[in-house]
Chains A and B, each alone.
Chain A
Amino acid sequence: MLHALLPAVALALLLAAVFLKQPRAMSYFGINLLLNLAIPVMFATLAQMMILAVSDLDLSIGPFVSLVACIGATLMPEQPVLAVLALIAAVGVYALAGAVIQARQLPSIVVTLGLSFVWLGCAVLLLPTPGGTAPEWLRSAMSWRTPLLPMPIWMAIATAIVGHLLITRSAFGTLVRGLGGNPGAIARAGWNMVRVRAGVYAIAGVFGVCSGLMLVGQATSADANIASRYTLVAIAAAILGGAEFAGGKVAPVGAVIGALTVTLAASFLTFLNIAPDWQVGMQGLILVAVLALRAAIDLFGGKR
């Protein structure tokens, strides 16, 4: 129980620390500013979580989100049809990668590593130098002042519900976790494993598309490396949220909270006036601290 609550507790502690340090952040505008950057990270984390659910690891999600952002900033304003086709093709390549991984029993790390070069190459071809403009509708959508709660909170609730329904409640989600936990059983039950894994990768691709479009809507322009750090951030967020590397154990709600925590940790360090040089290291330390807490709970709480 404590184990499952840990991501939420970590987020609450971090939020409390931020509010204590900067009480003015405790407002509609303040929260929006603090957590805005978490929106694309949440979707990237969900994408990574889909892949983790089948006991794979995706090293290409960061470059993929960058590519989507580049498509959004170059093709989308002038040739929306072509842009949509390009996005569909990219998701198709993702699904194909999933199918190849299953059919040839390849290590996902290596295939997605190769894919990351493909995405980055395409992004550089589309947008050799930083620039481009996001379409007007996307920019205004991302700067919409949502009623009652700031947009990041609504988005977190929405993504958590979607992830929860998809992974924990749907028949497909059960199949996905089964493929991660006991592929032999799924095969013997007569499922077409190639199709299931391709489907998982395609869904991850769709989440990646959401992430990239929202990112470019926020940033208004793009560059080929705009989201390259997302690969590691998404892994960290999903793991913080309670996912494990093997056995199909994932937690969609935790993953969303993990994404918020990782983003907030970065803003918190800026609040503390920590020199930018040390901020990277502090992110590592926060990651270690949360994982140490998890290990301690496992050790003393007896729940494994």
Chain B
Amino acid sequence: MSAANERIATPATKTAAAPRWKRLAGNRPWLGSCVAAVLAWAATVWSGHGQGSGDLLTAALAFSAFTVLVSLGQMLVISVGPGNADLSIPSTIALSGAAAMIVMDGSNAMLVPGLLAATAVGVGVGLFNFGLIRLLRIPPIIATLAASLIVMSVAINVGRGLKVKPPALFSDLMAQRVLGIPLVAIGALVVTVLVALMLERTVLGRSIAAVGQNRRAAQLAGLKVERTRLMAYVICAGLAGLTGALIAGFSGGNSLDQGQEYLLMTIAVVVIGGTAVAGGRPSVPGIWGAAMFMFLLVALLNAVGAGPGLRMLLTGVIIIAVIVLASARPTR
């Protein structure tokens, strides 16, 4: 009994001995990304002599909303264990954007069916992904890579020369602001809260964490490991599908490369946001911090007049620096 107490007590005393900021950061892996986002915002505003700080924030919220929606899914997939990642997100976004525009066909009445169709396309890709992983017993990275090639081909054939404008209502909604906050960002926030609740309160959410932490233990405890993984992939692809439609609505029509940047972006956002790459420890608030940080970082580099080459170089250096700094967390 006393031995057990001691074992529990040791880490606590250790934490108490650590400096206060470390203790604060210890249980909050998302804190770093949020601090970084605020710093990037402040630096950008400062470099622009304080002008347009509100506009910058609005733009950051609108663009981050897309990143957040896709990254939440990637976070779930990465959290089900080492080696899990969805590389098919860009193709899914391309295909679902085209599907949404075709179903909507510029008519306001078809807005909801169009969004549903886009999500359904995503869910289909998710099922296909997991089918490959299970049936062929191949690593998820290769499975989703192969799937992405196939899905992209379909998207090219479906979306080629497609010049359907989104319905007026859709475009208006995407540009709508409530109290200065873009409607998309509010939508993304709602989804974020739902995902957080799902992770904290539902069997599925707890299973995702459990499977990611120790798959064998989860299996022995009677959890449905494969069904949990399936759900992670399906939710991820479904969110990517929905986002594809939203991006098409936001930018006045779909394009085949509208999802291209989201492959590396989602992985970077998930990891910078404090989610453990080894799985089992999702970090929902960090997704927002990291998504805002990534957008504001580019804005900052633009503001100081960095060309595309320098911008990418610095983005890379900063990603690595953030990861190295984050690894100093006492949770390790």
Contact = CB atoms under 8 A, between A and B. Distances in A.
Interface of A: 57, 59, 97, 100, 104-107, 109-111, 113-126, 128, 224, 232, 235-236, 239, 244-246, 277-285, 287-288, 291-292, 294-295, 298
Interface of B: 83, 85, 87, 132, 135-139, 141-142, 145-154, 156-157, 160, 264, 267-268, 271, 277-278, 307-317, 319-320, 323-324, 327, 332
A124 B156 contact: no
A288 to B, nearest CB: 5
A128 B139 CA distance: 36
B153 A113 contact: no
Interface of A is mostly: helix
B152 A100 contact: no
Contact of B136 (A106, A115, A295): A295
Which one of B138, B151, B267, B310 has the greatest number of beta carbons of chain A within 10 Å? B138
Given A97-B320, A105-B332, A106-B327, 19 more contacts: A59-B264, A104-B327, A109-B277, A110-B267, A116-B316, A117-B313, A118-B313, A118-B316, A118-B317, A124-B308, A125-B313, A278-B157, A280-B156, A281-B152, A285-B146, A287-B142, A292-B136, A295-B135, A295-B137
A296 to B, nearest CB: 9
A114 B142 contact: no
A235 B323 contact: no
Contacts of B136: 288, 291-292, 294-295
A224 B150 CA distance: 26
A245 B332 contact: no
B83 A246 contact: yes
Given A122-B309, A128-B309, A281 B317 contact: no
B323 A114 contact: yes
Nearest to B315: A117
Contacts of A105: 327, 332
Contacts of B323: 106-107, 110-111, 114
Given A113-B264, A113-B267, A292-B136, A287 B149 contact: yes
A107 B277 contact: yes
Contacts of A280: 149, 152-153, 156
A272 B42 CA distance: 57
Contacts of A100: 320, 324
Contacts of A122: 309, 313
B279 to A, nearest CB: 11
Contact of B309 (A57, A59, A121, A246): A121
